[in-house]
């Protein structure tokens, strides 16, 4: 039996709402039999449209009462739609419903988690709270009153400002909140629970004081100061960079352990996954600290880009997400290390977004249709969306971009708008014509730019001929692609005047550089100026020049990645053909030079440069992926480097020790990253001495970065017996079993291990007390991370696929959003050999044919099956 065919929703079908809601008054009575929600909505008909019945969205609501202007009124209702006919032009609608937050396992709408009740309304969770016009272009001002037992739920929060509170009968209390800003329903939030709070404040540029508060589960206050500092820094940064001041009197962050995503920008009341709030040096890594900075900033930045100006409809999601990711990237780059920030952004894009854009779920940053909007909170909408915004800044410059932002807010503050509106503001402020550029919003797929260089000694010219193609696009019209380039002499010196920003606008186009004395080395796509694949027939010597001398750190890194990529792909082909791969001395020499120059180039950069491209990224470059050969090739190169550079790695390992007290500064983090990379290379040799060294670091580390790096490296040791590995894993769990986020790390160290017995370990861990199918973080750490373990998930016997199918079916009903994310593990199944494909198809069909499959999973699986 199959689920009813779910409806596809199209951008082209957008129509404005038939009714507006001006004010919303909500009353929540939290009781043991459920929560009773009374909604009083001041509504009026949209005079621009012909009269039609009022149709409200709802889901899992028990309707107790409905009145219009105080009078009981007839209505008809299905489980998801309530219709009222014959209404006057303006009226007050009052509904009373009961909801069951304790039974809400989807974590959408109002739900229970440990110490209280929380809400998640984006994208369509508000309809699980009350009957409503649950669409972002319906904006209203809200007042909210909460009633609950005082001892169990001492903290009662909603958006906006606290206006009154008091006690009532039976040990209950109430609190009333008013949000002065009009907002769409997806930005609504409430919290009721027993929580500790860290308070502080921020004085804005114009001298207003904003009260800041971070609420966490009792006992975790000492893990809040980093997030508070991040919030204050974000507020300052947005004033300085974009002139945007906080408009709120109260800005609250609440951390919750059960949350489907990272965090949510509800107006004045952000709700965060604990993962992006809680940090202390002994429980959080350098990367965690930096992620917290970025996510806190991201949600705060949404207050302007998303909340003050919101989306007209969900197809416009990248309007707020691409722009806000770009803003948090820039904040992170300013706060930490701009060089490595860019490198990591591109690494992430290639590992997640490029595969997505080549697979069955490929979509433009502004999709044209969807079945389930929750499936479109993707790397494409977020990360490629941010790249598109970055290209706009590249094309019109930082000042032009800032002027465009001013114009955007001047035009659209308080409105729900489209991506076109944003780009039109940028065009108006800069005079730049973005007509051709709009293709980036409308087409899926990663364009490929192929470049040829021709040096003419006679005319002393160098000509770059660029050809672009995107086989995934619906037509072959060219994109506008900003291509940042420079030319280098063979000795590595930058040719004066050769730094240019080329604008590719035609399918094939040539650019001539004059006064060039000898064949240059072109550096193309500097700073990754566009999200494309860039092909140029580099020689290893040319790449070595760029790795050593390119002043753009991104392209210096890129040269190293190109060298490594070629070696690994060649080696994978050799291994698949039964030959032993060989490694050129020149690569080892280049790596040695990098290690020797770490003091000048920065440890953080060198760590990035010596991290080989990941298997998922490399797999995209193979026509048929042989995961075993690829894995053996990449690790073969790692082992070769370890053998050849053992002295350098050991020396640096000893020399890079951080003596000062731990701080999550980029300088210290860079040293730890390189030192831990040295350790992981040394462990490729798997000698007793190195195992002991890793165990020693594990035991003596005074911070989670070093402790976890040692654990993860040991968890990867392949030898059947490795007592140090077992010891570290057991000790880590014993030490941290009560610290949920650290337990996630423990699970992930095992699910991402390269060991051949990883699937068996993961299976066993699903029945370990540490695992919990109700907690998204645990599922992501154990199951999704296993799905990203290329060599083990894609085992030739199909065991990885069968396991994933089982997990998806165990979860799809309980939490469709998370199950659907797991289903994305199958995105690239057609890139493998026929044997693997047969296993993957069987697993996908088993999921698809499951009775009552959730719409979320069904959309992903049907698209995968094509
Ligand atoms: N808007 C949030 C992300 C988010 C999206 C959906 C959610 O539930 C389905 C939750 C959070 C952000 O970009 O941070
Ligand atoms: Zn966001």
Looking from the CA of residue 299, the nearest atom of ligand 1 is: 14
374 lines ligand 1 (CB under 6 A): yes
Q: Compute the distance between CA of residue 704 and CA of residue 707 in angstroms, rounded to an integer.
A: 5
Residue having the nearest C-alpha atom to atom 6 of ligand 1: 122
Our mutation pick for probing the ligand 1 site, out of 264, 298, 374, 380, counting the most ligand atoms within 8 A of Cβ, is 264
Ligand in nearest proximity to the CA of 301: 2
Q: Compute the distance between CA of residue 730 and CA of residue 722 in angstroms, rounded to an integer.
A: 13
**Fold matches, 9-194 and 536-685:** no
Task: Quote the pLDDT of residue 6.
Answer: 86
Looking from the CA of residue 120, the nearest atom of ligand 1 is: 8
Which residue ranges in the chain fall short of pLDDT 50? 1-3
Q: Compute the distance between CA of residue 464 and CA of residue 500 in angstroms, rounded to an integer.
A: 12
124 lines ligand 1 (CB under 6 A): no
Task: Quote the pLDDT of residue 115.
Answer: 82
862 vs 2, 551, 806, 845, 856, CA distance in Å? 12, 47, 17, 9, 10
CA of 300 to the centre of ligand 2 (A): 9
856 lines ligand 1 (CB under 6 A): no
Q: Which of 299, 372, 387, 558 is catalytic?
A: 299
261 lines ligand 1 (CB under 6 A): yes
Beta bridge partners of 164: 176
Strand pairing report for 481-488 and 416-417: unpaired
Ligand in nearest proximity to the CA of 815: 1
**Residues 297, 327: contact at Cβ < 8 Å?**
yes
Nearest to 392 by CA among 288, 319, 291, 299: 319
Nearest to 603 by CA among 595, 612, 613, 591: 595
Looking from the CA of residue 817, the nearest atom of ligand 1 is: 9
264 lines ligand 1 (CB under 6 A): yes
DSSP-H helix ranges across 359-445: 379, 385-412, 419-430, 439-442
How many Cβ atoms are within 10 Å of 189's Cβ, its own excluded?
A: 27
CA of 693 to the centre of ligand 2 (A): 42
Q: What is the pLDDT of residues 431-480, one digit of tens each?
A: 999 999 999 999 999 999 999 999 999 999 999 999 999 999 999 999 99
Q: Before 11, cis peptide (omega within 30)?
A: no
Q: Compute the distance between CA of residue 382 and CA of residue 302 in angstroms, rounded to an integer.
A: 13
Task: Quote the pLDDT of residue 5.
Answer: 75
ipTM for the predicted complex: 0.99
**Residues 709, 694: contact at Cβ < 8 Å?**
no
198 vs 99, 203, 277, CA distance in Å? 31, 17, 12
Q: Is 9-194 a domain of CATH 2.170.190.11?
A: no
260 lines ligand 1 (CB under 6 A): yes
- Domain 448-530 superfamily per CATH: Aminopeptidase N, middle-beta domain (2.60.40.1840)
Catalytic, 167? Answer no
CA of 262 to the centre of ligand 1 (A): 7
Task: Quote the pLDDT of residue 4.
Answer: 61
262 lines ligand 1 (CB under 6 A): yes
Ligand in nearest proximity to the CA of 265: 1
536-685: what fold?
A: Zincin-like fold (1.25.50)
Q: Compute the distance between CA of residue 827 and CA of residue 841 in angstroms, rounded to an integer.
A: 11
Backbone torsions φ then ψ of 266, nearest 5 degrees: -40, 135
Residue having the nearest C-alpha atom to atom 7 of ligand 1: 122
Ligand in nearest proximity to the CA of 128: 1
Beta bridge partners of 20: 44
Residue whose token pair is 């909340």: 307
Residue having the nearest C-alpha atom to atom 5 of ligand 1: 122
Task: Quote the pLDDT of residue 730.
Answer: 98
Task: Quote the pLDDT of residue 2.
Answer: 39
Q: What is the pLDDT of residues 208-232, one digit of tens each?
A: 999 999 999 999 999 999 999 999 9
List all residues 6 or more positions away from 504 whose beta carbon is below 8 Å from its beta carbon: 449, 466, 468, 478, 479, 480, 481, 482, 483
What is the second-level CATH architecture of the domain 312-441?
Orthogonal Bundle (1.10)
Token pair listed for 383: 């990360």
CA of 136 to the centre of ligand 2 (A): 15
**Residues 137, 416: contact at Cβ < 8 Å?**
yes
How many Cβ atoms are within 10 Å of 12's Cβ, its own excluded?
A: 7
Looking from the CA of residue 259, the nearest atom of ligand 1 is: 10
* Structural domain spans, the chain: 9-194, 312-441, 448-530, 536-685
């Amino acid at each position: 039996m199959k689920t009813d065919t779910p409806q596809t929703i199209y951008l082209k079908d957008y129509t404005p709402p038939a009714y507006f809601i001006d004010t919303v008054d909500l009353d929540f009575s939290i009781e043991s039999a459920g929560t009773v929600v009374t909604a009083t909505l001041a509504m009026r008909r949209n005079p621009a449209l012909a009269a039609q019945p009022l149709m409200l969205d709802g889901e899992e609501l028990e309707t107790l009462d409905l009145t219009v202007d105080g009078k009981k009124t007839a209505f008809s209702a299905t489980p998801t739609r309530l219709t009222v006919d014959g209404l006057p032009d303006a009226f007050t609608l009052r509904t009373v419903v009961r909801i069951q937050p304790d039974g809400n396992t989807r974590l959408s709408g109002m739900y229970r988690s440990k110490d209280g009740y929380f809400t998640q309304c984006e994208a369509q969770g508000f309809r699980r709270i009350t009957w409503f016009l649950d669409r972002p272009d319906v904006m209203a001002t809200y007042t909210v009153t909460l009633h609950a037992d005082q001892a169990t739920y001492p903290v009662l929060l909603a958006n906006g400002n606290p206006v009154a509170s008091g006690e009532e009968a039976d040990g209950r209390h109430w609190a009333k909140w008013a949000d002065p800003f009009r907002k769409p329903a997806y930005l609504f939030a409430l919290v009721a629970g027993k929580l500790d709070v860290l308070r502080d404040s921020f004085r804005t540029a114009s001298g207003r004081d904003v009260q800041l508060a971070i609420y966490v589960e009792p006992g975790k206050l000492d893990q809040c100061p980093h997030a508070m500092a991040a919030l204050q820094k974000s507020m300052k940064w947005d004033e300085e960079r974009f002139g945007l001041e906080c408009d709120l009197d109260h800005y609250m962050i609440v951390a919750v352990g059960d949350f489907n995503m990272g965090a949510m920008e509800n107006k004045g009341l952000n709700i965060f996954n604990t993962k992006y709030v809680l940090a202390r040096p002994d429980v959080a890594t350098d990367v965690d600290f930096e992620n917290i900075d970025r996510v806190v900033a991201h949600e705060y930045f949404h207050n302007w880009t998303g909340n003050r100006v919101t989306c007209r409809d969900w197809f416009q999601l990248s309007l707020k997400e691409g722009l806000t990711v770009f803003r948090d990237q820039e904040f992170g780059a300013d706060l930490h290390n701009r060089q490595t920030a860019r490198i990591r952004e591109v690494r992430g894009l290639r590992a997640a977004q490029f595969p997505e854009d080549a697979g069955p779920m490929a979509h433009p940053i502004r999709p044209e249709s969807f079945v389930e909007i929750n499936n479109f909170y993707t790397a494409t909408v977020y990360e490629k969306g941010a790249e598109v915004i970055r290209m706009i800044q590249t094309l019109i410059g930082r000042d032009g971009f800032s002027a465009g932002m001013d114009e955007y807010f001047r035009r659209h503050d308080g409105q729900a708008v489209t991506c076109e509106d944003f780009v039109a503001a940028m065009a108006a402020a800069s005079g730049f014509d973005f007509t051709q550029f709009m293709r980036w919003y409308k087409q899926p797929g990663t364009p490929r730019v192929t470049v040829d260089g021709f040096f003419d000694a006679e005319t002393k010219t160098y000509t770059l001929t660029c050809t672009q193609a995107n086989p995934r696009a619906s037509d072959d019209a060219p994109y506008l692609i900003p291509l940042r380039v420079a030319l280098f002499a063979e000795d590595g010196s930058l040719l004066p005047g050769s730094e240019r920003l080329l604008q590719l606008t035609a399918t094939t186009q040539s650019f001539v550089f004059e006064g060039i004395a000898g064949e240059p080395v072109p550096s193309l796509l500097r700073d990754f100026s566009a999200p494309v694949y860039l092909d140029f027939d580099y020689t290893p010597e040319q790449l070595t020049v760029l790795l050593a001398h390119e002043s753009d750190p991104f392209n210096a890194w890129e040269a190293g990645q190109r060298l490594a990529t070629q070696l690994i792909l060649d080696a994978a082909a050799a291994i698949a053909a039964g030959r032993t791969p060989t490694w050129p001395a020149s690569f080892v020499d280049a790596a040695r030079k990098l290690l020797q120059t770490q003091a000048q180039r920065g440890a953080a950069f060198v760590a990035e440069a010596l991290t080989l491209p990941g298997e998922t990224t490399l797999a995209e470059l193979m026509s048929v992926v042989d995961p075993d050969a690829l894995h053996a090739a990449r690790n073969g190169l790692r082992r070769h480097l370890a053998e050849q550079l053992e002295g350098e790695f050991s020396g640096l390992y000893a020399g890079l020790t951080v003596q000062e007290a731990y701080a999550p500064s980029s300088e210290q983090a860079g040293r730890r990253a390189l030192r831990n990379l040295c350790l992981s290379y040394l462990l490729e040799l798997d000698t007793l001495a190195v195992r002991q060294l890793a165990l020693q670091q594990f035991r003596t580390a005074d911070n989670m970065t070093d402790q976890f790096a040692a654990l993860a490296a040991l968890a990867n040791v392949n030898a059947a017996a490795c007592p140090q590995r077992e010891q570290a894993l057991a000790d880590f769990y014993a030490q941290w079993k009560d610290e949920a986020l650290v337990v996630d790390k423990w699970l992930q160290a095992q699910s991402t291990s390269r060991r051949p017995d990883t699937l068996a370990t993961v299976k066993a861990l699903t029945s370990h007390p540490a695992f919990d199918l109700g907690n998204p973080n645990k599922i992501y750490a154990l199951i999704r991370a296993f799905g990203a373990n290329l060599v083990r998930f894609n085992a030739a016997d199909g065991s990885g696929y069968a396991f994933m199918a089982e997990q998806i079916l165990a979860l799809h009903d309980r939490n469709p959003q998370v199950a659907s994310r797991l289903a994305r593990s199958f995105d690239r199944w057609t890139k493998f050999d026929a044997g693997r494909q047969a296993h993957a198809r069987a697993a996908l069909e088993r999921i698809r044919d499951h009775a009552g499959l959730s719409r979320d999973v069904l959309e992903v699986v049907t698209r995968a099956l094509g």
